[in-house]
Amino acid sequence: MQDASKVVMGANLSTAKEVTSYKGAVLAGLVVRQKSDGTLSLAKADGGILGVSLGNDLSNAGFCPIARKGLLIPVLLTAAFTPVVGAAVNISDTTGKAAAAGAGVTAVNAIYASAVLQGLQEDGTYADVALIDMAGGL
């Protein structure tokens, strides 16, 4: 039986999603931006938001699938942050993780669809995550 408190990073629990691959590699669950030269970044200063990274591609060809729209997308959380289901999502301007509202964050077009879960990362470790709904994109 699957543990409902855990989720695999890079996966989503809904088929409602729009995914585009970009050259580069970003850890699954981080909100990704695109620099003017086309490379991927986490920093707000580098460009506009593309979506949430789904991690490295399975063929190891150097591409990063990014969920541009979707439901139940896992996103990494900053330390000691506990989201509220239905609340608006804010993203750290430097780490690409979901964070509490305040200075140094950007509000995005998404809401929390879960409380804190444990996300199984690509390296086999667990991190605090939450599922978000971003039906119209971030």
- Return the pLDDT at 56: 80
Q: Residue 29 corresponds to which tokens in the numbers above?
A: 């669950």
Mean pLDDT of 64-89: 94
- Return the pLDDT at 57: 67
- Better-predicted residue by pLDDT, 72 or 3: 72
| pLDDT (tens digit per residue) in 79-127 | 989 999 999 999 999 999 999 999 999 999 999 999 999 999 988 899 9
112 bridge partner residues:
132
pTM of the shown model? 0.90
- Which structural domains are found in the chain, ordered by start? 6-134 (2.40.300)
| pLDDT (tens digit per residue) in 8-60 | 888 767 777 888 888 888 999 999 999 988 889 999 999 889 999 998 866 66
Give yes or no for residue 1 having a pLDDT over 60: no
Q: Residue 82 corresponds to which tokens in the numbers above?
A: 């506990």
CB 64 within 8 A of CB 21: yes
Length reported for the chain: 138
What is the DSSP track for the chain?
A: ---TTEEETT--S-S-EEEEEEES---TT-EEEE-TTS-EES-GGG--EEEEE--S-TT-SSEEEEEEEEEEEEEEB-TT----TTPEEEEETTT--EE-SSTTEEEEEEEE-SS-EEEE-TTS-EEEEEEEEETT--
Give yes or no for residue 138 having a pLDDT over 90: no
- Return the pLDDT at 82: 95
